[in-house]
Each structure stands twice: as C-alpha cells, then as structure tokens.
Structure 1
Amino acid sequence: MTGAAVAVTDLKDLRGLVERAAQSLADARSSAEILDAREMAGIAYDVAKRAARLRRAKDAHDALISAAHRAQAHALEIESKAKHRLADEYDAAQQRGDIQRHGGDRLSKVPGENLAPRVSDLGLTRKDIHEARQIRDAEAADPGIVRRTLDERLEHGEEPTRAALRKMVTDAAMRGLRPQRGPSRRNPLYVPPTPAQASWQHVTGTFRAFAEWATDENLALARQGMRAAREDPFHDLDAKAIADGSAAFTTIKEWFDAR
C-alpha cells in the first residue's frame, strides 16, 4: 500500500479517493490510463477494507462500518469497469498485432527483432488478462452482475470482497459460454427473444417491479431514509445514480410520447 493510501484517515478522505478513481477511469483514453485508474481503484478498495476492519476492531458504530463497506463496493465497481475496458483494449491490440498473441508474435508487422510486446512487457500477467476477460464476459452474459452482487452483499450487511465478486463473475461468465438451449420440448413453438426483445423486457420488468414497490408507505419510508443518509459520505454518489436513472426513465417515456 502506498504512503498516500496509508494517509487516508477518515471517510471524507476515502470518498475523495474513490471519486478520483472514478474520474480517472472516465477520463481514460488509453490502455495506460485505464491501468492507472484500475490501480487507483485497487488502492481505494484496500484502504476501505482496512478501514472497515479497524472500525470493527474498535467496536465502531455500524453506520461507520457500513460506510466503509460502501466505499469498498464503489472501488470494486470502478476496478471492474477498468478491467472490462482493459480486456477490450487488450484484445483489440492483439488483433492489430500490437501485442503478441499466445504462442508468440504472429501478427506483428515490425521487421527484424522488434517484436510486438508481450503481456509482461505491459506490466500485466496472464492472470490479469484472464480476470479482465471474465468480467467482460460475465457482464455480456448477465448485464449488471457486478453491481447487483455488490449491492446484495451490502443489503445483507456483508463485506463486498474481491473473492465474493470473483465467484459470481466466474459463474456468470461460464453461463455465457454454455451453448444456448434449443426450443423447449414442452413448447416446440418457443423462440428465444432477440437481444432487442430481451433488452425491452428488462426495461419493462424494471418499471413494473419499481411501480409495484412504490406504494405511498414505501416512498414515505424511502424519503425518511434519504434524509438520514444526507450525512453519509457517499450520498453524492447515490444522488448521481438516481439522477442518471431518472434521465434514462425520462428518455424511455419520451419514446412513448413520440409514438
């Protein structure tokens, strides 16, 4: 852990570390910048994990431990997004011949001894690339799996760890590699939905689930929770997520209005 990481002593510092990692990834335009963002997110994760353990050891209030866990989850999500982008960048570079494929330099157009760089030349290991591809494949097979896994652990008061996330990601990636099932024998007319149909079903299912939950009683409770969470060091990130979701909902509503 770096000296800068050790210097983080309170939740405001930790929030700043997470936000800088998120901004670094948003601004990243090259593989090197993506790696920097991944490194920053990894540091934020380690600091949050250490903070949660120290607070538990000191019998700190549950709210403080929960805040540290949320920081851990945010850092893991940023790290996962960086790995996802890294997998895409790496595979594209291999296709172009900018990086050696497994088995040596087969595509490089550089003559003589100036062969394309290997994985190790980039400061990465094959394990790094494998994990990055797993995250990408898991998100392709089950969109949102990373965020849902982290949220579920937070909701159950469990620590969002790399190990727990890795297990869920691996399972989802393996499901994506399995061949698609043929039509059901019970219903030979069944046709699996297209990607567009599946996406629309996801939208309508999300709206229905929220509409069913959003009773006057539940909304009143949520408003109380929002007021109580204003002092939470990560309240700004929650507010941004709600704003982004509201914007998406507004866009979908405009589709209907334009029909």
Structure 2
Amino acid sequence: MTALAATSTPSQDLPSLIERAASMLSGAKTAAEVLEAREVAGLAYDVAKRAARLQRAKSAHDDLVAAAHRAQAHALEIEARAKRRLADEYDAAQARGEVAGHGGGRNFKVANGNVETTTADLGLRRDQIHEARQLRDAEAVDPGIVRRTLDERLEHGEEPSRAALRKMVVDAAMRGMRPQRRASRRNPLYVAPTPEQAAWRHVTGVFRAFAEWASDENLALARKGMREAGDTPFHDLDARAIAQGSAAFTTIKEWFDAR
C-alpha cells in the first residue's frame, strides 16, 4: 500500500497532511518515493482548494479563506519541489540509458535494484515530464521564483494555483530564463558553471536578495506579521523552516570566519 492510499482525506488534518508531504519529499531516496510525495502534496492542494471554495460559499471571514489559500501555497510549493526532483531523476535515468530518449518505452529503476518499472507504471506522462523540466529550469535561473509567485498571489488576496505557476513558467520561458546546458553558439568563450559554482551562486543570490529586502521597516513589518500568525495552523511549519534556514546561514558564516 502506498503512502497516498493509506491517507484518509476526510479525517486527515490539513497541516499534518502538508507536513507529511514535506517530510516524505525530504526523505525520498528514489523516483518512486518522490512520486509518492508529489501525490500527497497534490492531495493536500486539492483539499485546501476545496476548503477555500467552501469558505467562500459560506461567506466566511476573509481570515479563514486566507488560511486555506496559505495551505494551498504550502502544498503547491512542495508539489513543485517534487516535480523538480522528478525532472532530475528522469534526466539522470535517460543519461544512464534506463529511459528512452523520446520519453518512454524502456525502464526507470526504482528502490529495488532487481525490479524495474516503466514510466507508465510510475504514472508519468510526457507532458508531466515537460512541465517538471520547465519548473526546474525556471527555478534554477531565478532561485525562489516559485515561492515568490505564490507569495505575490497571497499578498493580493488571490488564489495560489497550479495555473498561476504554469503562467509563471511560460513567462519565464518567453524571457529566455532557461539555464544553458551547453556552450552558447553565440559566445564560443562561454563556459557553463560547475555544480559547485552553481550551488555557490544560488547561496549568494539568496543572501543578496534577503539583505536587500531586510530594511528596518520590512523587518518591523515581518515581526508584527509573525505575532499575528502565531495562532495560525501553519505557524509551526514556518518556525521550523526559519530554524533550518538559520542553521544553514550560520554554517555558511562559519565557512567565512574560518578562511
């Protein structure tokens, strides 16, 4: 029985369902486990979406609708991360010759090395692989674009939806926001960054963006928002993410101090 099959939607607490999806993705070691995490995140998204619609139908207080929308955003972010992982897993399988170059036909290995599963058995379609690659490429070129897209929707009181993310990907593609995987034909001197260089650029990009945002005024607003969010269902998830990010920032600062 899969993790998704074991989930009972009516009795499942939504924050717990989202946390479960995040935990599954964090611990996923195989493509099959990433797929299960994606399915649980997708289920959480659907539950939150229905909750938001129900609250609107009841003319509920805006805070209740906003809480449901925040749950949608959390679930959608996890689902997007899972899709990006799947794109990497699938491309790596192609490079190893386990998946045919046209996207089907051959085998995609999962946890048990003696068992091979076709892409159809794993529930992957070519359009899903294409979407996963687009999400990955947009995020690689502009780190945090998925989260920013969702946050912008929330700030404007709009529903964070899969359609909004798809539009973001299309807009990114139209702006040429795709990572170069080989030397540019227009610039023969171009050298693609190594994985180490790309990782460091990601770190410095995140730090610069946060440093530019973190004015006294913005931090004061954030502190007030933190206090207001203390009673929301997802405050614990936010606190955990901040703690994890803080620990990572401290580690990087120690690298500099040790130079």
Same fold by TM-score, threshold 0.5 exceeded?
yes
Structure 2 Cα separation of the partners of residues 148 and 135 of structure 1: 13
The residue that corresponds to 1:209 in the other structure is: 212
Structure 2 Cα separation of the partners of residues 155 and 41 of structure 1: 22
* SS of match in other structure, 1:5: coil
Q: Residues 79 and 181 from structure 1, CA distance in 2 versus in 1: closer, same or farther, beyond 3 angstroms?
A: same
Q: CA deviation at 1:204?
A: 5.2
Structure 1 Cα separation of the partners of residues 52 and 104 of structure 2: 44
The residue that corresponds to 2:84 in the other structure is: 84
**Structure 1: any 5+ residue segments left out of the alignment?**
109-115, 184-190
Q: CA deviation at 1:35?
A: 0.9
Tell me the amino acid that sits aligned with residue 8 of structure 2: A
The residue that corresponds to 1:151 in the other structure is: 151
The residue that corresponds to 2:30 in the other structure is: 30
Structure 2 Cα separation of the partners of residues 137 and 75 of structure 1: 20
TM-score, L = length of structure 2: 0.78
Structure 1 Cα separation of the partners of residues 210 and 192 of structure 2: 19
The residue that corresponds to 1:187 in the other structure is: none
TM-score, L = length of structure 1: 0.78
Mapped pair 1:139 → 2:157? no
Q: CA deviation at 1:214?
A: 2.2
Structure 1 Cα separation of the partners of residues 100 and 227 of structure 2: 54
What is the number of residues matched between the two proteins? 238
Tell me the amino acid that sits aligned with residue 160 of structure 2: P
1:139-167, CA deviations, whole angstroms, 9 ceiling, x for partnerless residues?
12211111111111111111100000111
Q: CA deviation at 1:251?
A: 2.8
Q: CA deviation at 1:86?
A: 0.8
Q: Residues 171 and 57 from structure 1, CA distance in 2 versus in 1: closer, same or farther, beyond 3 angstroms?
A: same
* SS of match in other structure, 1:4: coil
The residue that corresponds to 1:4 in the other structure is: 8
Structure 2 Cα separation of the partners of residues 34 and 41 of structure 1: 11
The residue that corresponds to 1:111 in the other structure is: none
Structure 2 Cα separation of the partners of residues 15 and 36 of structure 1: 18
The residue that corresponds to 1:186 in the other structure is: none
Q: Is the CA contact (8 Å cut-off) linking 1:142 and 1:172 kept in structure 2?
A: no
> 1:1-259, aligned counterparts within 5 Å?
4-8=8-12, 13-102=13-102, 118-173=118-173, 175-177=176-178, 198-199=201-202, 202-203=205-206, 205-211=208-214, 213-215=215-217, 218-259=218-259
Q: CA deviation at 1:96?
A: 1.9
Q: CA deviation at 1:98?
A: 2.0
Q: Is the CA contact (8 Å cut-off) linking 1:100 and 1:117 kept in structure 2?
A: no
The residue that corresponds to 1:112 in the other structure is: none
Q: Is the CA contact (8 Å cut-off) linking 1:141 and 1:173 kept in structure 2?
A: no
Q: Residues 165 and 181 from structure 1, CA distance in 2 versus in 1: closer, same or farther, beyond 3 angstroms?
A: farther
Q: Is the CA contact (8 Å cut-off) linking 1:35 and 1:86 kept in structure 2?
A: yes
Larger Rg: 1
* SS of match in other structure, 2:205: helix
Tell me the amino acid that sits aligned with residue 222 of structure 1: A
* SS of match in other structure, 1:176: coil
What is the aligned-residue identity percentage?
64
Q: Residues 103 and 37 from structure 1, CA distance in 2 versus in 1: closer, same or farther, beyond 3 angstroms?
A: closer
Structure 2 Cα separation of the partners of residues 135 and 22 of structure 1: 18
Q: Residues 94 and 69 from structure 1, CA distance in 2 versus in 1: closer, same or farther, beyond 3 angstroms?
A: same
Q: CA deviation at 1:95?
A: 2.1
The residue that corresponds to 2:111 in the other structure is: none
Q: Is the CA contact (8 Å cut-off) linking 1:153 and 1:160 kept in structure 2?
A: yes
Q: Is the CA contact (8 Å cut-off) linking 2:80 and 2:135 kept in structure 1?
A: yes
Q: Residues 7 and 93 from structure 1, CA distance in 2 versus in 1: closer, same or farther, beyond 3 angstroms?
A: same
1:55-80, CA deviations, whole angstroms, 9 ceiling, x for partnerless residues?
01111111111111111001011111
1:158-217, CA deviations, whole angstroms, 9 ceiling, x for partnerless residues?
11000001111233245234877979xxxxxxx999756854752552353144x124xx
Q: Cα RMSD (Å) of the superposition? A: 3.3
Runs of 4+ more than 6 Å apart: 178-183, 191-194
